[in-house]
Homo-oligomer: A and B are copies of this chain.
Amino acid sequence: MDHSLRIKFDKIDRKILEILQANAKITNAQLSKDIGLSPAPTLERVKKLEQSGIIKSYHAKLDPEKIGLGVSTFVLVSLIGHNKGNIDAFMREINIIPEVIECHHITGTGDFILKIIAKDITSYQSLMLEKVSEIKEVDSMQSMVILSTFKDSKVMPIPA
């Protein structure tokens, strides 16, 4: 059974999605020009894409450096047990740490991969020691510090 309801969208919708991923602040008038429709049906399509959940939300992207966030990392985490209870407990703890931006359950080496952002190495260290490694379900961790980011695209390629 397929829970993720397949909503259909055509070539025009795809173009709308591409444009809004790259630039959410475009006016409806400009968007309508770009896709070759009048404003009314353009807006109608956007609303439909929002209501159907294809467009989930809109976000401002900030410059981490300029807001004083100098350290970003990926952390591979192994749990002591792999049962659902442990995973749920871990998730709950992770969710209340704002510095943990992402948390994915993965195959391979570890069990989870986290993306963490902090002010500097010092605050990163205390975050890890006092918060993350204090979670009792956590067995081992391996940090990968981001030296530089070459690509950080907010535009997903939409299959035909």
Contacts and interface: CB of A to CB of B under 8 A. Distances in A.
Given A56-B62, A66-B54, A107-B144, A101 B156 contact: yes
Contacts of A145: 106-108
Given A108-B142, A108-B145, A146-B104, A53 B69 contact: no
A68 B13 CA distance: 14
Quick one: copies of this chain in the complex?
Answer: 2
A159 to B, nearest CB: 5
Contact of A69 (B5, B23, B107, B156): B156
B60 A55 contact: yes
A73 to B, nearest CB: 8
A55 to B, nearest CB: 5
A94 interface: yes
Contacts of A59: 20-24, 58-59, 61, 154-155
Nearest to A142: B108
Interface of A: 4-7, 9, 17, 20-25, 52-69, 72, 74, 91, 94-95, 98-110, 113, 117, 119, 123, 142-159
Given A58-B60, A106-B145, A107-B145, 13 more contacts: A25-B58, A54-B63, A54-B66, A57-B60, A57-B154, A58-B58, A62-B156, A67-B156, A72-B104, A98-B153, A102-B153, A105-B150, A107-B147
